[in-house]
Amino acid sequence: MKTVRVKDKDFSLYMSEATIVERVKEVASKIDADYRDSKPLFLVVLNGSFVFAADLLRNIDFPCEISFIKMSSYQGTSSTGKVKQLLGLNESIEGRTVIIVEDIIDTGYTMQELVNLLNEKNPEQVVITALFVKPNNIKVPLNIDYKCFEIENDFIVGYGLDYDGYGRNLSDIYKVVE
């Protein structure tokens, strides 16, 4: 079994790039059929989604805009504590179809927060696309419109996903060796 070392941990091959790309193309053609007439705005969630987005969006064959966002969290001064912020959304999304492109949904808290922030800006609809979902770990109700793969609760790297900043450039997906 092929293994790689990323920082201080060993990872073993989990899913090949060819397998991922084949599935991503399938999902792209579903989105292509479903949203062809809605001139959507694709919102790619940085950093982890950049490879997924590149493969997905090159298989979308209708007029669309693509933009990039980042979530940041900081301790607020109010008693509500942690406040998440949306960085980089410069377009108005009022009345538009927004399709989120996310690498992985684990507990779902990040996605829930993102959907709430977007809904405050009165879009027509918010659609969720995820490369990986860990169904056994989801803590919040989320309607995930398109998911490429459901996986176990293992920690994975590669194809854009990192371990402590490293491993994003691996072509395939690897999972941590416990």
Please report, as ranges, the residues that interact with ligand 5GP according to CB under 6 A.
Answer: 48, 103-111, 155-157, 161-163
CB of 122 to ligand 5GP, least distance (A): 24
C-beta closer to Mg ion: residue 6 or 130: 130
CB of 176 to Mg ion, least distance (A): 17
Q: How far apart are CA 74 and CA 60, in angstroms?
A: 35
CB of 138 to ligand 5GP, least distance (A): 8
CA dist list (Å): 64 to 9, 61, 101, 164: 40, 9, 13, 33
The token duo for 6 is 């990323």
Q: Answer yes or no: are the C-beta atoms of 103 and 48 closer than 8 Å.
A: yes
Q: Answer yes or no: are the C-beta atoms of 117 and 84 closer than 8 Å.
A: yes
The interface with Mg ion within residues 11-50 (CB under 5 A) comprises 48
Stated as kind and residue range, the H or E segment containing 125 is: strand 125-133
Residues taking part in catalysis: 106
Q: Which does 155 bind (CB under 5 to 8 A by kind): Mg ion, ligand 5GP, none?
A: ligand 5GP
- Told to check if 108 binds Mg ion by CB under 5 A, we report no
C-beta closer to ligand 5GP: residue 14 or 35: 14
Angle at 56 between CA 3 and CA 139, to 5 degrees: 70
Q: Which does 157 bind (CB under 5 to 8 A by kind): ligand 5GP, Mg ion, none?
A: ligand 5GP
Q: Which does 105 bind (CB under 5 to 8 A by kind): ligand 5GP, Mg ion, none?
A: ligand 5GP
Residue 59 phi/psi, 5-degree rounding, is: -105, 15
- Interface positions with Mg ion (CB under 5 A): 48, 103
